Amino acid sequence: MADSGSRTPHMLVITFPAIGHINPQLKLAHHLLAAGLTLTFMLTPKNLKPLLSLHSCEKIRTLVLPLPDTPGLPPGVENLAEVPGVHLAWLFVQAYANLSALIRCWVESHPYSPMAIMSDIFFSVEAGRLAGCLRIKLIGFSPQNALCVRGFWVRPKAAKVNSAIVSS
């Protein structure tokens, strides 16, 4: 799939449209662009303007796809901030995951296919399937620091606390 010519490496970046995820990924993208990589950002129409306000159109490419209508989500939702309640966030993640067939068609028909996908941690399962089908690398991105991520898998030991009664 990937072009093996003399072009600069090309990576598809799939962001999670939430401020706490987009901003750190854009900071990393800034360094990748400065190193000479070509980046294509997959995003929805409403998330295009914030991206372009941070980087010039010449430096980045975009793959703008409409978020599919998803039962249970209000029409037009394209950012986690627009989801009316955290209990619906999983529907939002699923709606984004449903874009993988369109992304695959784009990659397969693109004359300068990406050599890798950098995906937010929330899309790592679907992006992993997609990268496997396309036979390209997957780079996972998490905005959390290493200690936080470690906490997902390692259960901390209980600390002994001396109890005391304090009277006023």
Residues with catalytic annotation?
21, 120
Containing 150, the helix (H) or strand (E) segment is helix 146-153
What is d(CA 167, CA 3) in angstroms, rounded to the nearest whole number? Answer: 73
The angle, 0 to 180 degrees and rounded to 10, between the axes of the packed helices 124-134 and 100-109 is 30
CA torsion, ordered 37, 43, 45, 51, to nearest 10 deg:
-50
- CB neighbours of residue 94 within 10 Å: 14
Helices (H) and strands (E) in the chain, counts: 6, 5
Asked if 107 contacts 114 with a C-beta cutoff of 8 angstroms, the reply is yes
Asked if 135 contacts 61 with a C-beta cutoff of 8 angstroms, the reply is no
